[in-house]
Structure 1
């Protein structure tokens, strides 16, 4: 492989190696493994999120015997090479791992070998070894990369993949037919190498690619070179024999039209896909998606499903393709549900039949039969899963599958995993055990929350609480700069999938609709709406102006009404219930001086909540109220002279307000934004699903504000 050293010019993959950085790591093979892994994982053309595996073998001192021994460091179970650290590696004695061949009872006893890997552990603090461990262990090379690049899998999934691999690489790449990863596959890789000495890698049918080198750099460049050659070959053949995907069947509409249709449809799809568990959605109209879903070959290829196990595990056996015109009228939600219901029931029936036909006596119980991927020709791809990250990654994996189908069809004919093989991967007992070990979902997992005025104060505290409890949130505020800062803060703290943002003036019906469209396109719908946006004006009756009055009623009462109205339309489309929480005030119940406009508007908010609760209960939409008092910290309510007005009314200074408010409560407590957030969570966290029309006071105890 000496000819690969020094090759740094690539078109289809990214060469990211930094000699200076690598030099700093010289002599530490594990550090170089991590460096190489992170570089490979940074280019999604090389492997997908969580996919692939990398390893190195090096000498280390046995802590018991004090002698040098060969150890293999390999990505542990469930990790991602793009973000891999030492704590994510498994370290095993090579001699012990290879000696397991002496007790291996054959492929029908494959799964029992995984437990035996634990007897080979070198570093007791290492990650659990993955099922790919023997695939690396039985190859002799110091550094090994096992990746799932689309360009290679396209060849691996082609009907003539073995011949194409032989011809394309002139015998420099071996081939092993599809087999589920495990101990036996490791032995077959070793056999392939023995029968083909001098090869630079092995293609796994329908699965992926193994490449290697005697140094981290040699392995890295070898991997890039092999994938580059695969990609060049595909590129040279696109459209050569026939149009890509058989040519265009549907001419895509403009992006604005696609997004309008997607926003109208997503809540209905989410409702169907959430029939077992609440799902979060993702939408993409990536050009690769459009090329596939608008093609003549969509109807032939989509039902075949994916080939690579990594793709299949994320996207399910096959997608649901909607029989809807790109410009269909989606305005009548009930008619739309009636149109789509048979398609979803047919998919669920197909999935049940697939399970029943392929199950084994010890197979886990059938999982959610709803589709993960939904394709709308002319519009885009929807994906639904337990959280936003999983839904987004599922869409990314299906795009990988599209790339594979495109490449395989260009050079031969695409082939997918046989149904039984697919089932044996999906319902593999080892996969089931991994699922059972996952942390219990948080109370708001799968829920989408829109909190008005959530760039600061009470609203931000509520949004943070909801994210901590598993929800995704739509942050919004009338102040764009404040909103941008809050969005950056949330993404830094919780990751890019935790929130989306939308500038929102709650008095603007069109703006409200745009905010909900943003929520729907980002997450598929909405479950929890918190009407928190507000302002305050404290003046005597004589000093109050008509402008003051209109502003208070527009923001507090009309705003609550308009946001609720838009939310209800989406909640009804989904048909899975929901929560509306209105942040009102102690002042809705307590009379005080200099408070005619604000207090009466709050009273209107409170009674509007009762009216909405009475009307929406039949749809399992709960409407409840949280009544705070004197929440001073980081709140817009204290801007615009309110603090001065209240201090004047009570004959004290502004600085004395917090202590004054605390002292007048039964509990003698200062109320913080986090206290209101906790109250909101109490109402929406699942323990009060049979409660609606209630008022929860969070005021430290103000007897005059007792509801009953």
Structure 2
């Protein structure tokens, strides 16, 4: 096999980049890790670990000592950096064999890893640390490729690796990761020093090499051979997954149905804690959920610990016609709610039957993965990234089941083994080390007029506080540019004209597909026309009323449909203006529209309180920075009204405030956050002036 030609994995090694790192084994470890993690067929986000061993000077003795650099707890090889590594003395790790007391004392070994730390800036060592330390190789990869796990999760896995690799790979039966497993790996190597790799039953693959490149190639070749073996047999003796049972809806109809159902599912999946959603209807998902084997395989659950820790053991499969009318959300909720209740009861039964005396309390019993035959896969988790990764892991599990069924018979872990992994005290400790969630975590905000100005500032502040944001505007080029300022899994954008009902509906559908629904609606889209009464045209009047008043109404109306479908409450915040409270020259229609926005907010607050939907107003004044409103004729009109130049406007507005301050877009965004950030959860129908203090605009 040519070392640079692979069909089932990506060869990403670049000699120029690697050559620039020559002599720095840790840098080469990071490079190797990142390119391995870039291919989801090799390992998924957070899955697997990599290591290398180097000779370093001991800071206490000045002597040369062997140090192992290994991915630390909770890291991801695809994004691994130096601060994600643990650096440990190899001789001290190997000396732990002298104090190991057996399987019933596994967990105490993890605390002892801290006594082996060489690099004081180390990430906390993971449970897999000794699996690397006791092997006598300089570079080691422990990966979870779909093809390898398919063999590892096969009834005849041990026999199959002989067919694939001859005597070059050894088989280690399933065992929970820990020190005892590392001793078994060491024993396998001592028994056959010529091995090129190891298979862990139900778990994954170990490969190694004396150089970073040799290790990388060995990993790719091992995965390629497993992939070819499976491909040569898939669908030959029997159809994949038993053949097709259901024909999927066309792609546009799938997305339409998914966007309609997602808020209902999100509400039901959030009975314990609010969740953010993700949707996938990839070919591999459809092949599985539309198959005859779905009902047999889905309940078996996933096999690899990395999979089920993120997906739960098994998914919820919806018994719902794919073309059902979803317009009556309450009726749909009543139809599928019993399935959620059954799932929760089943999970509680699983917990009660398998818990230990010291098991952590039962976690959220709701499904993470929801399958709708004919439509697609929904996943729900604490944020978009976690929901997306859960979906990716379940697709990995589908690939594993597909491969295992092609070559043998898929075998899942016994439930007690799965429980002991899911509720492992060390896993619980990892969860407890997670950073505290931000105030807007688990929330989704749709903001109109957010390609720039106040709307963009609102999106920036809410996303910085943990929210997912849907930025919308009429200018797609500006939207794309604004969207690029956010990281992955934080934002999406939709072209939205607030005067066009279909455009508004399309934006909400995108929010539901991307994130599962919406929690916060911010009406920030606007424009301004400053003219005296006699110069104001009917077109001026209609434009202002359509954008400011009708736009706010329709965006709120469509948003409330989703908020009610979720049943989680929510927030509407309307960006109005001081001009809705204070009379001034040459803005009769603008001021009237802003006053209408304010009173509409009070009316909606009164109507929507029963749904726990809060409606509040932020009143800016003279926010010139970054605002399109202040470009051109509006600024000229206001300057003319006050008898000053356009350049003098910022200072003019600041001087007339009690605080003598210029107002920024971020000031207004902070006002929005004050309503939706959790501290004012019992406040509705209120108006917050963010204007530097204009006495004439005092509400009370």
Q: Determine the structure 2 residue equivalent to 1:100.
A: 96
2:122 is the counterpart of 1:126:
yes
Runs of 4+ aligned residues of structure 1 deviating over 4 Å after TM superposition are: none
1:660 aligns with 2:656: no
Greater shift in the superposed pair: 655-664 or 226-235 = 655-664
1:497 corresponds to which residue?
Answer: 489
Q: Residues 493-528 of structure 1, C-alpha deviation per residue, up to 9 Å, x if partnerless?
A: xx1111000001000000000000010000000000
Q: Is the 8 A contact 1:537 1:640 kept in 2?
A: no
1:188 aligns with 2:180: no
2 CA distance for matches of 1:466 and 1:25?
40
SS at match of 2:485: helix
Q: Which residue of 1 aligns with 2:563?
A: 571
Alpha-carbon distance, 1:329 to partner = 1.2
Q: Distance in 1 between matches of 2:449 and 2:16?
A: 48
In 1, Cα distance between the equivalents of 2:209 and 2:23?
16
2:235 matched residue in structure 1: 239
For 2:541 and 2:23, locate their aligned partners in 1 and report how far apart those are by CA, in whole Å.
74
Q: Displacement of 1:197 after TM fit? A: 3.0
Q: CA deviation at 1:640?
A: 4.3
Distance of 2:445 and 2:19 partners within structure 1 = 48
2:399 to 403, 423, 440: 403
Q: Which residue pairs with 2:531 in the alignment?
A: 539
CA–CA distance in 1 between the matches of 2:16 and 2:528?
A: 59
Q: Secondary structure at the match of 1:237?
A: coil
Is the CA contact 1:26–1:32 (under 8 Å) kept in the aligned structure 2?
A: yes
Determine the C-alpha separation between the residues in 2 that align with 1:566 and 1:510. 10
- The Cα offsets for residues 408-454 of structure 1, whole Å up to 9 and x where unpaired, read as 00011101111111111111111111111111110110000001000
User: In 2, distance between residues paired with 1:26 and 1:561?
Assistant: 63
TM-score by length of 2: 0.99
The yes-or-no answer on 1:604 pairing with 2:600 is no
Q: Distance in 2 between matches of 1:609 and 1:707?
A: 14
> Given the alignment, which residue of 297, 300, 312 partners 2:296?
300
CA distance in 2 between counterparts of 1:290 and 1:671 reads 52
In the alignment, what sits opposite 1:70? 66
Correspondence 1:633-644 to 2 at 5 A = 633-644=625-636
Q: Does 2:639 correspond to 1:647?
A: yes
Q: Are residues 1:345 and 2:341 paired?
A: yes
Q: Describe the SS at the equivalent of 1:282.
A: strand
TM-score (norm 1): 0.98
Answer yes or no: is 1:463 the counterpart of 2:459: yes
> What RMSD in Å do the two structures reach over aligned CA positions?
1.0
Is 1:515 aligned to 2:511, yes or no? no
Query: 2:577 pairs with 573, 582, 585, which one?
Result: 585
Unmatched tracts of structure 1, length 5 or more:
none
Structure 1 counterpart of 2:517: 525
Provide the rounded CA distance (Å) in 1 between the counterparts of 2:478 and 2:49: 42
Distance 1:327 1:527 in 2: 27
Cα distance, 1:56 vs. partner?
1.0
Unaligned runs of 5+ in 2: none
Superposed displacement of residue 65, structure 1? 1.0
Whole-angstrom CA distance in 1 between matches of 2:638 and 2:28: 64
Q: Distance in 1 between matches of 2:529 and 2:54?
A: 71
Aligned length: 700
Secondary structure of the structure 2 residue equivalent to 1:12: coil
Q: Partner of 1:449: helix, strand, or coil?
A: strand
1:26 — aligned with what? Answer: 22
Q: Residues 551-579 of structure 1: CA distance to partner in whole angstroms, max 9, x if unpaired?
A: 00000000000000100100010000000
Match in the other structure for 1:155: 151
By how many angstroms is 1:400 displaced?
0.3
CA distance in 2, matches of 1:12, 1:631: 55
Partner of 2:218: 222
Q: Distance in 1 between matches of 2:314 and 2:405?
A: 18
**Aligned-residue offset at 1:8:** 2.2
CA distance in 2, matches of 1:7, 1:666: 73
1:256 corresponds in structure 2 to 252
SS in 1 for 2:35: helix
1:24 deviates by 2.6
d(CA) in 1 for partners of 2:61, 2:386: 45
1:628 equivalenced with 2:620 (yes/no)? yes
Which of the residues 7, 15, 29 maps onto 2:3?
7
Query: What's 1:480 paired with?
Result: 476
Q: Give the one of 413, 419, 426 matched to 1:417.
A: 413
Distance 2:648 2:24 in 1: 62
After TM superposition, give the deviation of residue 128 of structure 1 in Å.
1.4
Taking the aligned partners of 2:605 and 2:19, their CA distance within structure 1 comes to 67
Q: What do residues 308-344 of structure 1 show as CA deviations (whole Å, max 9, x unaligned)? A: 0000111012100000111111111010000011000
Distance in 2 between the 1:503 and 1:467 partners?
19
* Aligned partner of residue 349 in structure 1, secondary structure: helix
Task: Output aligned runs, 1:266-281, within 5 Å.
Answer: 266-281=262-277
2:370 matched to which residue of 1? 374
Q: After TM superposition, give the deviation of residue 136 of structure 1 in Å.
A: 0.6
Residues in 2 aligned to 1:486 and 1:30: alpha-carbon distance in whole angstroms? 37
Tell me if the contact between 1:461 and 1:677 (Cα under 8 Å) persists in the aligned partners: yes
Write the deviation string for residues 455-504 of structure 1: whole angstroms up to 9, x where unpaired: 101000000000010000001111111111101122xxxx1111000001
- Deviation of 1:31 (Å): 1.9
Hey, what does 2:547 align to over in structure 1?
555
Work out whether 1:209 is the aligned partner of 2:205: yes
In structure 2, the partner of 1:198 is 194
Secondary structure at 1:217's aligned position in 2?
helix
- 3-state SS in 2 of match to 1:123: coil
1:683 to 670, 675, 678: 675
Secondary structure of residue in 2 paired with 1:590: coil
What secondary structure, in the 3-state scheme, does the structure 2 residue paired with 1:489 have? coil
SS of the residue corresponding to residue 232 of structure 2 reads helix
User: 1:7 Cα shift?
Assistant: 2.4
Counterpart-to-counterpart distance in 2, 1:31 and 1:587: 59
Q: Secondary structure at the match of 1:542?
A: helix
CA distance in 2, matches of 1:520, 1:370: 19
Which of 326, 333, 342 is matched with 1:330 structurally?
326
**C-alpha displacement of 1:89:** 1.2
Contact residue 288 and residue 399 of structure 1 kept, 8 A: yes
